[in-house]
């Protein structure tokens, strides 16, 4: 579903009328603004890491003798702390894995291919030697990205179930219209049900991650 389809669906849901508004229309812009606010709310739903925003190998830099590397937080919402996720350096078909540990425990993990996240920095615990053959390799980290906002009529709705966004925006639309306010409660209830289903489906996706992503599990099975 793109922005244009979203706006039309919101109006239909709230009013029962079919209308195709131009981008310059005030109601179109109002719905667009509401939708972007709720996309941000969806992204930061408490205790939920959306699998659709997960990137297991997000490239942040190339390895050098520096120990610290900036993580661009304009695109990254958070670094994954899921068991089994690792930092990787990749070069010429070779791969080296680093396990992340809490900053306060960094001193306990010297010489064990570990790193830590300090603010917006990835910090390797051990010095990177100038003769390290992996220098120049890509550093990738497992992250959850920010959901892209709707910018124009062709932008794609990023939430897992676009009908949740349609319904929650329709509820807000109705709440601000004296003739439609009586629909607000029903629309909010429907939106909450759709959100709960999204969370359940997301949890099922998370639990289906391959076991080989967790070190040692593949050896047991």
Contact 25, 43 (CB under 8 A): no
Q: Which of 21-35, 56-70, 141-155, 192-206 has the lowest mean pLDDT?
A: 192-206
- Local confidence band at 180 (pLDDT 50, 70, 90 cut-offs): confident
Q: Choose the most confident range, by mean pLDDT, from 72-81, 98-107, 130-139.
A: 130-139
3-state secondary structure 107-155: HHHCCCCEEEEECCEEEECCCCCCCCCCCCCEEEEEEEECCCCCCCCCC
The single-letter DSSP state of residue 157 is P
pLDDT over 90 for what percent of the chain? 79
pLDDT of 212 > 80? The answer is no
Tell me how far apart the alpha carbons of residues 159 and 217 are, in angstroms, rounded to a whole number.
32
Q: Is 89 exposed, middle or buried (0-12, 13-18, 19+ CB in 10 A)?
A: buried
Tell me how far apart the alpha carbons of residues 89 and 158 are, in angstroms, rounded to a whole number.
29
Question: Tens digits of per-residue pLDDT, 41-78?
Answer: 999 999 999 999 999 999 999 999 999 999 988 999 99
pLDDT greater at residue 215 or residue 43: 43
- Mean pLDDT of the 31-36 span: 97
- Mean pLDDT of the 16-26 span: 91
Bridge-based pairing of strands 94-100 and 114-118 is parallel
Question: Tens digits of per-residue pLDDT, 88-98?
Answer: 999 999 999 99
Tell me how far apart the alpha carbons of residues 55 and 144 are, in angstroms, rounded to a whole number.
6
- Local confidence band at 206 (pLDDT 50, 70, 90 cut-offs): low
Name the average pLDDT for the chain.
90
Contacts 24+ apart (CB under 8 A), 82-86: 82/49, 82/142, 82/206, 82/209, 83/214, 84/209, 84/213, 84/214, 84/215, 84/217, 85/56, 85/142, 85/213, 86/142, 86/215
pLDDT of residue 219: 34
In the chain, which residue ranges form alpha helices assigned H by DSSP? Answer: 3-15, 26-43, 162-175, 184-207, 217-220
pLDDT of 153 > 80? The answer is yes
How many residues are recorded in the chain?
Answer: 221
pLDDT of residue 183: 87
Question: Tens digits of per-residue pLDDT, 141-151?
Answer: 999 999 999 99
């Amino acid at each position: 579903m793109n922005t244009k389809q979203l706006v039309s669906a919101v109006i239909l849901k709230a009013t029962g009328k079919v209308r195709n508004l131009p981008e310059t229309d005030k109601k179109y812009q109002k719905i667009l603004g509401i939708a972007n606010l709720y996309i941000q709310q969806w992204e930061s739903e408490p205790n939920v890491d959306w699998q659709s925003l997960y990137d297991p190998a997000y490239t942040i830099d190339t390895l050098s003798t520096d120990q610290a590397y900036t993580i661009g937080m304009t695109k990254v919402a958070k670094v994954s702390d899921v068991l089994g996720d690792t930092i990787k350096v990749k070069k010429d078909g070779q791969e080296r894995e680093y396990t992340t540990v809490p900053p306060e425990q960094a001193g306990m993990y010297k010489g064990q291919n570990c790193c830590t996240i300090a603010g917006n920095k990835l910090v390797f615990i051990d010095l990177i030697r100038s003769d390290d053959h992996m220098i120049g390799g890509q550093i990738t980290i497992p992250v959850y990205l920010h959901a892209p906002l709707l910018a124009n009529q062709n932008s794609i709705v990023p939430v897992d179930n676009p009908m949740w966004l349609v319904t929650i925006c329709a509820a807000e639309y109705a709440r601000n219209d004296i003739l439609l306010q009586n629909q607000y409660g029903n629309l909010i209830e429907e939106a909450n049900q759709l959100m709960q289903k999204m969370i359940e489906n997301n949890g099922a996706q998370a639990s289906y991650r391959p076991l080989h992503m967790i070190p040692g599990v593949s050896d047991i099975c």
